[in-house]
Structure 1
Amino acid sequence: MMTWRNLSIVRKLGLLLAFNTLLAVLAIALVFSVGSAYSRYHDTRAQLLALAAVVGENSRAALAFDDPESARQTLSALAAKEEIDTVRLLDAQGALFAQVEFPRLDHDGDLLERLVQAALPATLAVQQVMTDGGQIVGRIELSAHLLHIWLDVLAGQAAMVLLGVVLAALAVHFGMRLRRIVTDPILALAQVTHRVSREQDYAIRATKAHNDEIGTLVDHFNHMLAEIQTRDNALRRERLFLEQRTVDMQLARDEAERASRVKSEFISTVSHELRTPLTAISGALGLIAGGAVGPLSPQALEMVAIAKKNGQRLSYLINDLLDMEGLMAGKLHFDMRALELMPLLEQSLVENQAYAEQHKVRYAIGPRIDGVRVWVDAQRLQQVLANLLSNAAKFSPEGSSVEVAVRRRGEMVRVEVRDQGPGIPASFQDRIFQKFSQADASDTRQKGGTGLGLAISRGLIERMGGSIGFESQEGQGSCFFFELPVWHPQLQSHLLEQRVSAVRPSTPRVLHVEDDEDTHQVVCAMAGDRIDLEHATNLREARARVAREHFDAVILDLTLPNESGWSLLPAIHEHQPGARVVVLTGGDEVPGDGQWVDAVLRKSSVSPRQLLDAITPPDTRSAPEGHTP
């Protein structure tokens, strides 16, 4: 069935022209007919009133002399007016004085006239009052038929309709002839468009027929094809270049990994080789300082003390390098035991008190929790505490105090070390746990250190199943803290193995980077209480938390305000080397070649089981058997 939507432009144009022309003619005919009928009606009424006035004057004498016959003769003079049907003369009291009727032809047999009489007023009646000296002496009443007026009006309207039909036919005729001027070039352009789409050949060009608006459209279309062809060629060249770059980057990455392994082996070998002679040097200096070779002059004792102090610094550096390398390689040994936290903390305060006194700072224990036990390596925990306490003392002003607090946070216990120093600059906070990072990196910095302490502390705490972080505002001091799981004797070994002594706890700590709150709520509902889900709404917040805290996995949305989530992947790889990265996307995009991404899930189809399986490494999805510590 041919509908208006399926008609060709030529037919639509012709029909629209015909319809508009016919509609305009009909509107003009209607307005003309109504105006003509209104004018004829009022003209007839005015004529009748004038005739009534003339007849009234002529009948005044007959009325005065009470001569009805003379009055009828006067009224009969209106017979010449064929539209008048009846004329009546009334006296002053309103009684009929004389009446004359004019028989006309019977129009009842004409169907058109009967329809006109049924639809329009058939007669028009007027009356004229006759006065003498202000007194009413009589009244003339005239009645006329209007059929001839309406027939004239209908005849004119029929002529207008006929004219409209003729004009509409002419409009259709000329509309059809417009096809060669308007529609043929447009159809030719449409055919070229279809060919380009089908063949994907942007070298095809449309032919320009005229220098009119359609010709301008063809020029612009050909220019667009030329631009697309140029860009398509450029994209092909760029694709070839990127493929070559991908190969080069793969080779470079392999070379970098090999160099990293060589570096690690070199550091490990050199550090071990340096430790043996350094031990001998430190021992010899200690013997000399103790008088084993005889008394020394004050100047010699001062030089021996300087040498011994710098030997100690070198020994610390070597130990830090070995610890860092061991953490990175996963070869650092941990002797995990269930130990009470407060005695370990008090022992660390005693051991580091001398260092605090050198800086004229004192340690003070604030809130404490006695009897809480944690599953840790005592030596490694003391190493973390020594680092945090020494840093706090080193950066605190003389005469101030470093506050140490222990707080319970659900199934975790937090140890806080708060100083009154200058605080950490905002520009440095994202790098605070990186290797060799120091806020003052100049050669003349006032505070010593290797820049490895916090990085090592973070690795140690995470290996013991905890997390480490800090809070700081520039000019208002800093608070470094770490959290460890509280140990309960009734826990079974498989729970302890997953939660404490393994690299990851049984409830994974996951950072969800998502700007849409509704999507985050859906992920929370899927996760339930099986993961500890944290939320970051933008990349700035995500980078800061990735740099400061530990996460077992990161759920990442690639479409974030002002920046792609892809840019967060290097930071995750650097600060969270063991964390799994799960891309939760609404489309099909996968960053780069998929490196550093463990799983890609679709928001529209992900299930809770898929989400949990993607977050959990394959080798830890079933709880292992273990022994009770």
Structure 2
Amino acid sequence: MRTPASLRGRVTLGVLVLLSVVLTGLFIAVDVALSARLHADARTRLTDRVALAEQLQGTSSMQQLADRLRGDGVVVRLCTADGSACATAASDPPPPGAGPPRGGRPKPPDTLRTAPVPVETAGSVIFVRSELAGDQVLTLSLDTTQISEAVHRLIGFEVAGGLVALVLAGLAAARISRAALRPLEDMTAVARQIAAGDRGQRLDAPRSDTELGRTAVAFNAMLDELEAGEGRMRSFLSDASHELRTPMAGLQASAELLLRENPHREQRERLAVAMIRETRRAARLVDDLLTMARLGQGMPLLLERVDLLALAEAEVDRARSLSPGLTFETGGEAGTHVDGDPVRLGQIVTNLLDNARHATPPGGTVSVRVHRRGPRVRLAVADTGPDVPAAERALIFERFRRGDASRSRHTGGAGLGLPIARGLAQAHGGDLTYAGTGTGATFHLDLPAARV
């Protein structure tokens, strides 16, 4: 996960960039619209003066007509067709006494029905040229420099105002983002306190329906899980150390006895057998611990099509040779195949049979049944030993839990057989559960049936 330099700075910069884009677009639209409007008004001013000249022609002299048409920046030039006489009027205010011609006020230009007069451009000057009745040529011109200057002044005001607005928006965004991101600073402070050793610190999350509230809840849940995982790890290491201490102490005692007293041959052989037994016990415990660790990390499985009934019969034959005082029964349906690792599936069945052998008294019976249950295959291992008390049924699948002493007749077990069996079952997409019958223990191994 990439960490930016400053989330607050990114938020502020994003707000300023967005505001700059919006203001730029707005100012451009206003300037273009205003410039177009002012130029259109200038053109309309010229064409209206042409219409007014057509209406006033013949009611006054050429100079009076020119004086009537000037104003608002319009320059008037009225000449005869041969250029022998001309009357001009600049855009200065009309002289005193220049009023409307005799004969009443003329009609407004918009009521005249004249053909549109083309407006031409020469640099910054726009002009119209129209031929009036009586062989007169009217030329009206208007300098648009003032329009351009007005637009430029507006642009200057907009730039200055935009910069001020951006500065104020930046300050406001920085303060708002600082207030909005304060929970993240609290999270950082809590994380530092936890790193310093105060593991009980948690974030205050009064609301869980907001983004920061959900983050705080998830952060607290992560801390709880890490703390619980650390506790489980410490418990696991403590239990593993305790289990390894027993065989290692036996090995040490036997070795010291051999070195210190030099016993006779029979006693030496007995001590050697004890050392081998303790070595095997320690090796089995180490193997079980490695298997548990691999299950937690995702054990790789060699999947192939396995006949679960045939595998169970082979494991039952091995268990029968180890416990000749018990009766072993097998049964099931043909074609109960699963996709799995035959070695690991055999380990599951072996652990279940070992658990049943050690819990069943001499003369008892251990039965294994395999049958199909819809899209799954179930292997049931039942024995005639004592039932697991209801209070301990939730603990028998935990590591280093041996359960009731009546089902632990043997010595040397570390309480990892059933947890390993369940972990391997879950790694195959199945599960291992306990079903109490009141007269013995029954374990159900459910696995997905093999795909055709």
The two structures share one fold, judged by TM-score above 0.5: no
TM-score normalised over the length of structure 2: 0.43
TM-score normalised over the length of structure 1: 0.32
